[in-house]
Amino acid sequence: MMTSLAQFAFILIVPLVVVAGALVTLFAVAALFDAHENPKDVSARIDSLFRRAPKAPQDTKPDHYYQPHWKQGKVV
């Protein structure tokens, strides 16, 4: 029983962990190269993490000078 579990681990799980680690390493190296090539973009990305979201747009008030055509009455 124990040998079959060890064989399962070495045949299936260990290669999956190695491949996942290689992919994570590849993405980390790519991120480092991107940061090295574009340092201003990296600082802009970090600054954008702490920037507030824009306010939601508000609908126009009834007395506003502009009324969209879909809110106006039927034109004859």
Instruction: Give the pLDDT confidence of 1-49 residue by residue, as tens digits.
Output: 778 888 888 888 888 999 999 999 999 999 999 999 999 998 898 898 8
Q: Is the pLDDT of residue 74 over 70?
A: no
Q: How far apart are CA 52 and CA 46, in angstroms?
A: 13
Q: Is the pLDDT of residue 76 over 90?
A: no
pTM more than 0.75: no
* pLDDT at res. 28: 97
**How does residue 72 score in pLDDT terms, banded at 50, 70 and 90?**
low
Q: How far apart are CA 41 and CA 31, in angstroms?
A: 12
